[in-house]
Amino acid sequence: MKTIGLVVNLGKQRVAPLVEQIVDWLTARGCRVVMTGDAATALGRPELGIPREQLVEETEILLVLGGDGTLLRCARESAPRGIPLLGINLGHLGFLTEIDVPELLPGLEKLLAGRYTIEERMMLEARVIREGLTVERVIGLNDAVITKGAFARLIFLETYVNDDFVSTYPADGLIVATPTGSTAYSLSAGGPLVTPELDLMVVTPICPHSLWARPLVINAASRVRVIVRSKQGEVMLTVDGQQGCKLKFNDTVLVQQSAHRARLIRLKNRSFFYLLRQKLSEGERLNGC
């Protein structure tokens, strides 16, 4: 019997009947379906609930119902256990998700029949070192971003690749992105698009006050070291736009390739460039362009 976990964004509209449909369809085919206790209670199926920490321990596959944000969060939690994820798009762009709601049942048929591939994506790890001690450690699929706070004041970020000095950027911030993250914040800041099968990192300054500062593409085996040289104003580290912490003067942020990899289930034979055309054009339509 396959054990399939559901990760559900409860804030999405009409998610309850969709979950009911998935649960009924899978259990009718001999699968065990589980989800976190809070989600199970909220959706009226408390008998399916298990503790959150058990979800990635007991499941063979996770179905992620939401948008890219839900999938990013799930990737961080599931990557250490190597659990593959199937993203079902309930959001807008759905760059990382695999199927939309109208494709749900045919997609599940393919899943149970084993007609899918698993695409592995590089992840990164960000550590904050303060006075010689690691005070924060986070993994992410998209990016690690160091940014200024609310006031319109530049911050100064002394940046090294391995032990080679690159620059002290006077900027609004700095992005270190994976190939997956190259289509996110880094793209908006002028970074290059990178095909997702590559293992590398993109270092993109945000609004640098410099004539020569440009995005860098570096080997995945490299380590990016950033020292905060701003005494005034708030400076933040965020990973995947979801987790993070405040930084202090002289804090060091180390970003490197994670030992873990996200595993995304693919049911369709779509190229990266096809997705770019579809999703970025869709984003322009949603924004009224």
Residue-wise pLDDT for 173-216, tens only, equals 999 999 999 999 999 999 999 999 999 999 999 999 998 899 99
Nearby residues of 167 by Cβ (< 8 Å), 6 or more positions away: 159, 210, 213
What is the reported pLDDT for 284? 55
| Residue 250 DSSP one-character state | T
Residue 100 burial (CB count, 10 A): 12
Q: Is 199 annotated as a binding residue?
A: no
pTM equals 0.93
Which contiguous run of DSSP H or E holds residue 146?
A: strand 143-148
Domain 123-260 has CATH 2.60.40.10: no
Active site residues: 68
Which contiguous run of DSSP H or E holds residue 24?
A: helix 15-27
Q: Is 28 annotated as a binding residue?
A: no
- Cα 186 from Cα 175, distance rounded (Å): 6
Q: Where are the domains of the chain?
A: 3-116+267-286, 123-260
Look at residues 42, 32, 54 and name the one whose alpha carbon lies nearest to residue 8: 42
CATH topology of domain 3-116+267-286: Rossmann fold (3.40.50)
- Cα 22 from Cα 206, distance rounded (Å): 42
Q: Is 69 annotated as a binding residue?
A: yes
**pLDDT-wise least confident of 119-123, 170-174, 257-261, 281-285:** 281-285
